Amino acid sequence: MEVDILTIFPGMFPGVMSESILGRAQSKGILTVRVHDIRDFALGKHRIVDDYPFGGGPGMVMKPEPIAAAIEHALLCRESDAGGESRVLLTTPAGRPFTQGLAREYAACEHLVILCGHYEGIDERVGTLVTDEVSVGDYVLTGGEIPAMVIVDATARLLPGALGDEASAAEDSFWEGLLDYPHYTRPRQWRSLEVPDVLISGDHERIRRWRREQSLERTRRRRPDLLEHAELTEEDLKTLRNLAP
């Protein structure tokens, strides 16, 4: 997958993009990330990318010309000619919520262009070049750079080969839509707290059932809204009915 990021703060990206799974995915050739400075597409000595809003009011608005030139350049950077159109994302708190489902949808794309918005706004007319407006949550960040990193991170880890075998098992559809179960490692006893006996039993079927029950119980307690869309089996429904209120 190829990702072109358009930002006025390109210096925010190298660390995040080069470490851990994102760094490894790039070394393996599964992921290509290019970061472009929108200022490089601004005309004039001062490379101005924003201006006062028509109609007055606080804050500045990002000018349409440099952004359009940056998007058009990013579309030309695409190397792959396989499958589907390039998606052009704008990060904005006014966008569609970013979810695991949307990450899965993006992971199936060959090319993403991510325009990092700034809350004061982007000239509305640039919207004609954008295919998706995306929000990473109901709070306002200082800009769209961290949301862009969130989108790339959640998407890239779903690319085939990005995670080791062990980790990819967690993506198993069995856990679809539920919160994760609790994890433990050595020592068996730590500050008088014990690891649950079932995990030491060696009985794989009991362990599977316990984890599933923990996952269901946690989801019901912390995020009951998720249960409405989770893929639940008959056994799950029975477990939920038997859980203490």
54 versus 139: smaller Cβ distance to ligand ADE: 139
Looking at 35-43, 48-56, 88-96, 188-196, which segment touches ligand ADE (CB under 6 A)?
88-96
CA separation for the pair 211, 221 (Å, rounded): 15
6 contacts: CB under 8 Å, gap ≥ 6:
36, 38, 67, 70, 71, 74, 113, 114, 115, 116
List 172, 205, 225, 234, catalytic entry: 172
Cα separation, 219 vs 184, whole angstroms: 19
Active site residue 172: yes
The catalytically annotated residue of 93, 133, 153, 213 is 93
Per-residue interface string for the shown chain with ligand ADE, residues 89-108, x marking contact by CB under 6 A? --xxx---------------
Q: Is 59 in the site for ligand ADE (CB under 6 A)?
A: no
Give which of 70, 48, 47 is closest to 129, Cα–Cα: 70
Round to whole Å and give the CA distance between 18 and 122: 29
- Binding to ligand ADE (CB under 6 A) within 119-148 occurs at 119, 135-137, 139-141, 144, 147
177 sits near ligand ADE (criterion: CB under 6 A): no
Whether 159 and 109 have beta carbons less than 8 Å apart is answered as: no
By CB under 6 A, name the binding residues for ligand ADE: 91-93, 117, 119, 135-137, 139-141, 144, 147
